[in-house]
Amino acid sequence: MTPRIYHNARCSKSRATLALLEERGLTCEVIHYLDTPPSAAELADLLGKLGMTPRELIRKGEAEYTELGLDDPSLDDTSLLQAMASHPRLIERPIVVANGKAAIGRPPEAVLAIL
């Protein structure tokens, strides 16, 4: 299976993770998720593979987090997934999917565990 990386070329961790995979001789399917964001359903699937909740995957330092009031503890997972699908900058990056599993490349070497 070809590894898939949800990539943001402006992010140093994302670039380093992609470089690490390529150094290992892997050709990846690169998804520029800011241009083609995953749907809420795709995000739910990724979360299952990551073993995380939407709150754990959301980037709290982004302006949209505050602007959309996503710190409200009463928001359910569906609302958070919709927000991330509509505002992909809120999605933690990079995410690598391989062998039915997923990992976040923070640090980049963390993705090696799923290869």
Count of domains forming the chain? 1
State the pTM of this model: 0.95
DSSP string for residues in 21-75: HHHTT---EEEETTTSPPPHHHHHHHHHHHT--HHHHB-TTSHHHHHTTTT-TT-
The residues annotated as belonging to the active site are: 11
Tokens of 18: 């992609």
Place of tokens 């987090």: 65
Low-confidence ranges of the chain (pLDDT < 70): none
Question: What pLDDT score does 48 carry?
Answer: 97
94, 105 contact by CB (below 8 A): yes
Residue 81 belongs to what domain range?
4-114
Question: What pLDDT score does 72 carry?
Answer: 97
CATH of the domain at 21: 3.40.30.10
Question: What pLDDT score does 78 carry?
Answer: 97
Respond yes or no on whether the N-terminal peptide bond of residue 37 is cis (omega within 30° of 0).
no
Question: What pLDDT score does 1 carry?
Answer: 78
Question: What pLDDT score does 68 carry?
Answer: 97
